[in-house]
Amino acid sequence: MKNRTSLLNGSQGYTETRRMGVFGDLTVGYRNFVFLHASGRNDWDSRLDPSQWSFFYPGVDASFVFTEAIPALKDSRILSYGKLRGGIAKVGSININAYDLENEFNVTGGFPYGSVTAHSMAGALKNRYLQPEFTLSKEIGIDLNFLNSRINAELAYYSMSTTNQTLPAQIAYSSGYSSMYVNAGEMVNKGFEAELKFVPVFNSTIRWDVNVNYAYWFNEVVSLTPEFDELSLGNYVYAIVGQPYPVNKWSDFERDPQGRVIVDAKTGLPTKSTDLFISGQTVPKHLLGLQTYLKYKGFTLGVNAEYRGGHVARIGTAHDMMFTGISDITSWAGRERFVYPNSVINTGTAENPVYVENTNITTNDGNVDFWTQTYRGISRPGVVNAAFWKIRELAVYYDVPENYLAYAGGFVKGVKVGFIGRNLFMFLPESNMYGDPEVNSGSGNAVGYAPGGAIPPSRSYGFNITLTF
């Protein structure tokens, strides 16, 4: 770059892997109403030890079109099409990089002698006999069409189990290492999906189409390594046996067995727990989509809306608003000293606590220090219900009538004018007064945390003209 005052820093690396696969696919049908499909794939991957290079995974599915098989349904004016389907498949994958089976040295400086360049071993012992991870998927479903496809419905249930996951396991420090990657752990995903498409109004001048889809998703970590039932994956993300994956853990107030906040008997300030709490599922459990299109003469109105719910998120903006004093929560008691709501004090000892309702011990400060330090220093107040309704898109189109196109001398065959608005409206639950829960600190596992200072979502408007020649 010409405007730089110094040289660019850069690095390079080189890895070499070889992957090869062969697969077969077979479909058999009988009298146009029974179909059987089978497939198989074998992969070879040099990232694994030669003894583990080859791994095979098959799949099979079948379908039965009962409206073709049952004579009484062939000419039905109500049920136009009906199909039952089911399948089971196994998929293999590798969750390591090139050369991850070999113990390597890291270049260090200042160890063991001053600035002399030396090498040190990595903290994790490599395992040459790691195997692929496997996911077993099962699905059943039904497809129905009514009234010559005026009404279409699909319903499916699925179950997925991932085993043989590549996870770090603790080993004896006397080995010279702290951990070793092993094949262990199981995670299950279950859910169902439903879709309904129908045309409630259809005639020569107007057509109204409605599409509704819903999905329910359940996920649970069944097991990890024999030594651990919890793994920290960084960025507040954890995998915990018996919990959905991923979950977040955050700091919380210290509470009594009834869930009331314990305050200091002298200062009246809430105390911080030494344990982190599991905030809950960070991935939406419920997904609902709605699309509708209304056509009247040359006009078309389209709306795309979506609901996501059944999960939580920590909104970092909540703590930023506390720090600046613009959060309405900072005006709880007129920014004066107050008795912390639903709080207790311990009149016993740490070993034998006796919790008594706090009725008169006020916070020693209800202004700047309380909200910017004591309260803001705990994550729990920023954890909210992450559900939302969004109007993703609203569009209006107009097709110019053909008689107006005659003035173009037949050169232009069609003109469509459109106005489009995206991300127009967002509706949030009362507990979330801070921002869009879709703004996460990252992708993949790094969900459930919308950091403060994130760029707000934008609302956009567009205009287009489509010409057909």
Instruction: List pLDDT tens digits, range 133-157.
Output: 999 999 999 999 999 999 999 999 9
pLDDT value at 240 more than 80: yes
Residue 90 covered by a domain: yes
pLDDT for res 440: 65
pLDDT value at 259 more than 90: yes
Task: Give the percent of the chain with pLDDT over 90.
Answer: 61
Q: 263 pairs with which residues across the strands?
A: 270
pLDDT digit string, tens, across residues 94-117 = 999 998 888 887 777 666 666 777
Residue 151 covered by a domain: yes
Mean pLDDT of 163-187: 86
- Give the tokens for residue 79: 């049920």
d(CA 450, CA 419): 32
CATH assignment at residue 131 = 2.40.170.20
Amino acid (1-letter code) at residue 49: D
Residue 180 covered by a domain: yes
d(CA 206, CA 208): 7
pLDDT for res 167: 86
Sign of the torsion angle spanned by Cα atoms 348, 350, 353, 357? positive
Residue 348 covered by a domain: no
Which helix H or strand E contains 74, and what residues bound it?
Answer: helix 71-74
pLDDT value at 7 more than 60: yes
pLDDT value at 270 more than 90: yes
| Position with higher pLDDT, 229 vs 170 | 229
**pLDDT-based confidence at residue 446 (cuts at 50, 70, 90):** low
- Give the tokens for residue 353: 């606590």
Give the range of the structural domain holding residue 205, as residue numbers without chain letter.
Answer: 19-99+126-228
What average pLDDT is seen over the chain? 90
pLDDT for res 83: 98
Number of domains in the chain: 1
pLDDT value at 184 more than 80: yes
**pLDDT-based confidence at residue 31 (cuts at 50, 70, 90):** very high
**pLDDT-based confidence at residue 306 (cuts at 50, 70, 90):** very high
| Position with higher pLDDT, 289 vs 443 | 289
Q: What angle do CA 321, 325, 328 make, to 5 degrees?
A: 80
- pTM equals 0.84
Residue 114 covered by a domain: no
pLDDT for res 257: 95
**pLDDT-based confidence at residue 118 (cuts at 50, 70, 90):** confident
pLDDT for res 112: 65
d(CA 450, CA 321): 14
pLDDT for res 461: 96
Residue 412 covered by a domain: no
Least confident range from 160-174, 200-214, 389-403: namely 160-174
First-to-final CA distance of the chain: 45
pLDDT value at 171 more than 90: no
pLDDT value at 2 more than 70: no
Residue 401 covered by a domain: no
Mean pLDDT of 122-137: 91
Phi, psi of 319 (to 5 degrees): -75, -30
- CA 87 distance to own-chain centroid: 25
| Position with higher pLDDT, 53 vs 8 | 53
Q: 456 pairs with which residues across the strands?
A: none
Neighbours of 29 (CB within 10 A): 12
pLDDT value at 445 more than 60: no
